[in-house]
Amino acid sequence: MARFRIFRVSGRPASTHCCLRSLATPYHGLTFQTDTSIFHSISIEAGITTANTHPYNLPKTGNILHENTMAPILHSIDHINIVVKNLEEVKRFFVALGFEIKDQSRLQGQWISKTVGLENVDAEYAKLTLPGDGTSLELIQFKNPPVTNIPNPGQANTQGLRHLALQVADIEAAVIFLKQQGIEPVSAIQEYTPAKKKLVYFKGPEDILLELAQYG
């Protein structure tokens, strides 16, 4: 598994004070109410296929690349994309968690079809961020071509992008908050002592798998 943790926004440390606030937007008829600032940043874990693959060996081009890596020109993780079947439901869920909608539009035309390598693309898109965090979450619902179903999308060992992790300041408070909204974690809070980390998984709409993580 490859793990990416987001801590930098435009060259500055991510804010340590962001997230769950009193919200008027309900999810599944529930109104989320909290004043606890618990979400700090986003991280993702992605499954990587190892069969028939080899380490990348990027060629050097002048002084741009160093030691066969893109480190000098690679800035940060820009966004995480999740393809969904019901954009409005998933959007409400993340807004209820404390995300803010920054952009939403319909995606059509040759530019998007060429970009994603599909014909006659017609999709709805929403961009969300956590306050103070420069990495955005992009939700896309394809109307054409239709969404491709995969078995067990919420199962931890399904290949590919598997879950979205939210760093929190108080994981116990976050779990209590989720339970009050009728969202049950996959397990009790677990500890990964080498990283001084507490973590727990839970599921959002469409079996989107999420993680709460607290360090220190």
User: Using one digit for the tens of pLDDT, what is the confidence trace for 49-69?
Assistant: 334 444 445 454 455 545 567
Distance CA 16, CA 191 (A): 22
Task: Name the region of 207 (left: φ>0; alpha: ψ -120 to 50; beta: rest).
Answer: left
Average pLDDT of the chain, as a whole number: 77
Mean pLDDT of 30-36: 44
* Chain position carrying tokens 């976050």: 174
> What domains lie within the chain, and their CATH numbers?
2-49+76-215 (3.10.180.10)
Give me the pLDDT at residue 39, please.
63
* Chain position carrying tokens 């606030």: 21
Asked whether the whole model's pTM tops 0.85, one would answer no
pLDDT exceeds cutoff 90 at 185 = yes
* Under 8 Å between Cβ of 139 and 124: no
